[in-house]
Amino acid sequence: MRYLLVEDNRELAEAVIARLLLDGHAADHAATLAEARDWLSVADYDLMLLDVMLPDGDGRQFLTEHRATRDLPVIVLTARSQISDRVDTLDLGADDYLTKPFDFAELEARCRAVLRRRSGPSRNEIRLGEALFDPGAGTIDYGNTTLGLRNRELRLLEVFARHKGQILSKSQLIDRLFSQDAEISENAIEVYVGRLRRKLEPAGVRIETVRGIGYRLTTE
Amino acid sequence: MRYLLVEDNRELAEAVIARLLLDGHAADHAATLAEARDWLSVADYDLMLLDVMLPDGDGRQFLTEHRATRDLPVIVLTARSQISDRVDTLDLGADDYLTKPFDFAELEARCRAVLRRRSGPSRNEIRLGEALFDPGAGTIDYGNTTLGLRNRELRLLEVFARHKGQILSKSQLIDRLFSQDAEISENAIEVYVGRLRRKLEPAGVRIETVRGIGYRLTTE
DNA sequence: GCCAAGCTGACATCTGCCTGACACGGGGCG
DNA sequence: CGCCCCGTGTCAGGCAGATGTCAGCTTGGC
């Protein structure tokens, strides 16, 4: 999972980032709303943690604005004195709120809860051209056939599907699929892309090679 | 199914927990609101049973607060004298209420009702291909035979049936079947899946293995 | 035409899964 | 009270499917 933390208190921010990294997540930090906008325009996050009191503006306005354009879950961080605003906050489109100070166990639990709620029973299938990819079930449906994927193929396709159209390098893919200390050759990715292609071809899903750079998933 | 019981009367609590365990469910017990918050932050429940009179605060406030952030069904337990509050309670977001003293049969019935209501069509039986699964009775009918399941098998199948087609990891299944402090090896799940398979095979219900991830229930 | 990057069939390996056997405990029955 | 049976969870051995590497081949770019 990839997090964006928007928080101007440097000390707190560092602690949170450290903890998220420790848990094996990717995490970026923005100290201002302007920075946050920058990050959001270049990367693709799973969850945003947003402090509402920031030097260059009110986080809540940012929230409405943000909600209008994206569907990225947000957990709002507020000081205890602002609790009364919580209903407003939730109305503005936050998925949850957390009052400072909080402990990390609680933060993690909330994150998990939000991510689960988002991706849980609401069946998040991903449309890939004619085909329908269901990561939770590990299947792809097209026409009237259902085809099953195995572990690695599944996770690889998941990465591609969440970054449809973007070019992903082999090293990026290795980072997403394998644990840090695993020593894996880039050839492994080539092999898996090949296996995926063979299965996805009939479904009209293509993984294009961008020579020297990486791969890109396209649908017809 | 996994329950959280929030109740300060130790005797009653123990009896309820014992009964839930006996039924093959997972159940944790909190005697205070603080404890309840702890449990909620570490585990993932299907249903909460909440007494409103607790030593460290009013359960109803807890309920509102809780409702703002989570989507976990709640059955409130109240003393007979507090019946008049029941409308309030339901307004606050409880799914049902139960007046003490209650008997266990009623408790179970209410729990089933709430869970059923939550998970879609309010049928008591679940269709699995050709077969008809009745979680209440613990039986499966197909063709003209009825076959009985044991406790654990029953609960396991119940979880699978509620997430038909989805891949469930062994640790997820353990979470659903066993309480937090139970130390259970993943092999137990393998064994139960095996036993279930043997019984369900003739009924046309399959539990597929997805190596490295988990299991998936499918019907033909 | 040459080189680097990418593709792919074949293979050894390993680890995740399955299963028969068993030990344990509780409840019912004699 | 003791016996037995049933439900449950663990264990060890064995199997095989999934996985990653390799070597040789193909493709694309210059």
| 3-state DSSP assignment of residue B133 | strand
Chain A positions in Cβ-Cβ contact with residue B40 (cut-off 8 Å):
109
Per-residue pLDDT tens digits for A55-82: 888 877 788 777 766 778 888 887 755 5
Read off the pLDDT of each residue in A95-109 and give the average, rounded to a whole number: 72
Task: Kindly report the bases of strand C lying within 7 A of a protein C-beta atom.
Answer: 5-10, 16-21
Chain B positions in Cβ-Cβ contact with residue A96 (cut-off 8 Å):
69
Domains of chain B, earliest start first? 2-118 (3.40.50.2300), 126-219 (1.10.10.10)
Q: Which residues of chain B (146-205) touch nucleic strand C at CB < 7 A?
A: 170, 186-187, 190-191, 193-194, 197
Residue B218 has a pLDDT of: 93
Cβ of A203: how many Cβ atoms within 10 Å?
21
pLDDT grade for A19, boundaries at 50, 70 and 90 = confident
Average pLDDT, chain A: 82
Pick the residue with more confidence: A91 or B67? B67
Q: Answer whether B83 touches A (CB < 8 Å).
A: no
Per-residue pLDDT tens digits for A109-124: 778 767 766 654 445 7
Cβ of A48: how many Cβ atoms within 10 Å?
23
pLDDT grade for A93, boundaries at 50, 70 and 90 = low
Residue B108 has a pLDDT of: 83
The number of CA neighbours under 13 Å toward the Cβ of A31 is 7
Residue count (chain B): 220
Q: Check if the beta carbon of residue A160 is closer than 8 Å to that of residue A219.
A: no
Residue B122 has a pLDDT of: 42
Q: Answer whether B118 touches A (CB < 8 Å).
A: no
Structure tokens at A17: 């980032």
Cβ of B195: how many Cβ atoms within 10 Å?
15
Chain B positions in Cβ-Cβ contact with residue A117 (cut-off 8 Å):
71
Distance CA B113, CA B96 (A): 9
| Residues in CB range of B126: below 8 A, 6 or more apart | B132, B133, B134, B135, B161
Read off the pLDDT of each residue in A28-35 and give the average, rounded to a whole number: 89
Give the distance, in angstroms, between residue B208 CA and nucleotide D18 C1'. Answer: 15
In the numeric block, the tokens 């051209």 are attached to A129
Backbone conformation region of residue B46, classed left if phi is above 0, alpha if psi is from -120 to 50, else beta = alpha
Read off the pLDDT of each residue in A14-21 and give the average, rounded to a whole number: 82
% chain A with pLDDT above 90: 25
Structure tokens at B207: 């539990």
Q: Has residue A83 got a pLDDT over 70?
A: no
Residue nearest to nucleotide D28 (CA to C1'): A211
Of B40, B165, B211, which is closest to A137 when you measure between CB atoms?
B165
pLDDT tens over chain B, length 220 residues: 899 999 988 888 888 888 888 888 889 999 988 888 878 877 788 899 998 888 888 877 788 777 766 778 888 888 766 555 555 666 667 788 787 778 777 888 888 888 877 665 445 678 888 888 888 788 898 888 888 899 999 999 999 988 889 999 999 999 889 987 788 999 999 999 999 999 998 899 999 999 999 999 998 7
**The A131-134 sheet, strands edge to edge:** A126-128, A131-134, A139-142, A145-148
Residue A208 has a pLDDT of: 93
Q: Has residue A85 got a pLDDT over 60?
A: no
| 3-state DSSP assignment of residue B205 | strand
Listed in order, strand segments (DSSP E) in chain A are: 2-6, 26-30, 47-51, 53-54, 57-58, 74-79, 96-100, 126-128, 131-134, 139-142, 145-148, 167-168, 205-210, 214-219
SS3 content of chain B, % helix, strand, coil (to 5): 45, 25, 30
Q: Is the CB of B86 under 7 A from strand D?
A: no
Q: Has residue A147 got a pLDDT over 50?
A: yes
Q: Which residues of chain A (121-150) touch nucleic strand D at CB < 7 A?
A: 150
